[in-house]
Amino acid sequence: MIRNLFLTIFIFLQFLANAQTNKNEVYLLTEKIAYYIETEKFDSLILHLDSNMLRQFDAEKMKGIWESLPNQFGAFESFQKITIDSVPGLLVSQTIVKFKKAKLMMNLVFNKKNEVAGLHFMPKYSYAPPDYINTLSFVEYKIVVGKIPFQVMATLTIPRNVEKPACVIIIGGSGPTDKDMSYGDNKPYKDIAWGLASKGVAVIRYDKRTAAYGPQLSMDEYAGKHLTIKEEYLDDAHDVITYLSKSKLIDPKKIVVAGHSEGGMLAPLIFEQNKNLAGVIMLEANARPMQDLLVEQMNYLYKDVELPFTQRKQIEDAKRHAVYAKDPHLKPNFSNDSLPGATAPYWISVNTVHQVESAKKIKKPMLFIQGERDYQVTLTDFTIWKEALANKTNCTFKLYPKLNHHLMEGEGRANGEEYAKRSNVPEYLIDDMANWIRRLEIK
């Protein structure tokens, strides 16, 4: 028994030593990568990328990303403090990068081979709730939904002094969106959750699987070759709906799905697969194929803008790749290098979605919310929804002149930079959503 105890202690100490060794190696690798970036030796940098990253990035693309940062944050000054953290099966380094106007965080994700499985730059921000929030009027519960190995964290916001309230499920937009839709100082989904809860409506929001497990999902041994809308959206939405249907904290007959952007595109399909829902809210939901919107967005943002050759080439490549992704005969083994931001299986799954036709079949109440200043999902989509559903009395359409794609106000010609300006979802939008939910007729 003593021998076994010593053996256990030895194995544990060896584990700690190995973990510390790996952290030291990751620290040194982070210093090396920072040096490659600072000296623009991107050919050396890509030698440290894993196979999935190499499919998405080459030295030229890395250079383009780095050169784009000073346009937003001022001239580069220095790399600063490095910290190392761990997640299951991975190590993550965070390095402060000082620019003239702001400090960013460079996040590097390393796999078990100490290859870079993820690299991105994020500003450091702090959230301030809007004035209309009453934090004493609700309580929040942290819960875990989904199935191992991809369980996700969710937050259920329940209004106090309301017995069995209706509950809204927020389905996030495209990309690795967290439960708050964190972007700079702003957290629009948190505004909606706290705003509705302040007005008597429960809300559940959760990290998308790609936000919680992005690096793991990109690896071939997980779902790297086969990630589709089922894994990114449908499975977790179903598990959240199942959880709520058994909850004693809300009225299971008053569960509403609120899909934003791509989440809105998929909301009618989610409704089809979960027939016990009471209604659907479409927040800036695209009626057209996502690939068409990608091209339209790039034309809107960059058509008359002078850019370095590398960035202009990336944009033109992305527009061409969007056309490939829309091909109805796209094969699963089509080169990922010629597709925009996702694999062929993912785009094939997207191409099976016919959101307008699905919405026509829904008999429960539907609320369409559109910002007039949204350049990502535009008035063209809103018009398609209105015309296609014109004869359906269960549909309500709301257009807001000042709102952008993030459901926040702005002035003039919309652009991506305004998303980072400190703002909140306006109270009138929260009121309209809350009033519509109160009028739901459960059939």
- For helices 59-73 and 309-325, give the axis angle rounded to 10 degrees: 110
pLDDT of 1 higher than 60: no
- Tens of pLDDT, residues 222-276: 544 578 999 999 999 999 999 999 999 999 999 999 999 999 999 999 999 998 8
**Domain range holding 182?**
135-438
217/257: higher pLDDT = 257
| Exposed e or buried b per residue across 393-409, where buried means at least 16 C-beta atoms within 10 angstroms of its C-beta | eebebbebeebbbbbbb
- On whether both 75 and 182 belong to a single domain, the answer is no
- For residue 313, pLDDT beyond 70: yes
443 within domain boundaries: no
Q: How confident is the model at residue 170 (pLDDT cuts 50, 70, 90)?
A: very high
Last residue in a domain, options 102, 123, 144: 123
Q: What is the C-alpha to C-alpha distance for residues 201 and 435, in angstroms, rounded to an integer?
A: 10
Radius of gyration (C-alpha) of the chain in whole angstroms:
23
Helices (H) and strands (E) in the chain, counts: 16, 12
Cα gap 278→256, rounded to integer Å:
6
As given in the structure block, the two tokens for residue 228 are: 């589709």
Taking alpha carbons only, the member of 205, 238, 230, 241 closest to residue 353 is 230
Least confident window among 131-135, 331-335, 354-358: 331-335
Whether residue 128 is contained in a domain is answered as: no
By CB neighbour count within 10 A (0-12 exposed, 13-18 middle, 19+ buried), where does 379 fall? middle
CA distance 328 to 306: 34
Residue 165 lies in a domain: yes
State pTM to two decimals.
0.77
Tens digit of each residue's pLDDT (9 = 90 or more) over 183-204:
878 999 999 999 999 999 999 9
At 19, the pLDDT band (50, 70, 90 cuts) reads very low
Q: For position 101, which CATH number holds?
A: 3.10.450.590
As a whole-number percent, the residues of the chain with pLDDT over 90 amount to: 62
91-105, 273-287, 390-404: least confidently modelled range: 91-105
Inter-residue contact 433 to 202 (CB < 8 Å) = no
228 shares its domain with 141: yes
Q: Of the candidates 123, 154, 179, which is a domain's last residue?
A: 123
Q: Residue 191: its pLDDT value, please?
A: 98
Q: Is the backbone of residue 167 left (phi > 0), alpha (psi -120 to 50) or beta?
A: beta
Tens-place pLDDT, residues 335-392: 888 988 888 999 999 999 999 999 999 999 999 999 999 999 999 999 999 999 999 9
What average pLDDT score do residues 118-143 get?
89
- Please tell me whether residues 52 and 143 are part of one structural domain: no
Measured distance CA(76)–CA(71) in Å, rounded:
10
Domain final residue, candidates 71, 96, 123: 123
Per-residue pLDDT band at 136 (split at 50, 70, 90): very high
Given this model, what pLDDT does residue 12 score?
32
Number of separate domains in the chain: 2
Is the per-residue pLDDT at 176 higher than 50? Answer: yes
Does 6 or 94 have the greater pLDDT score? 94
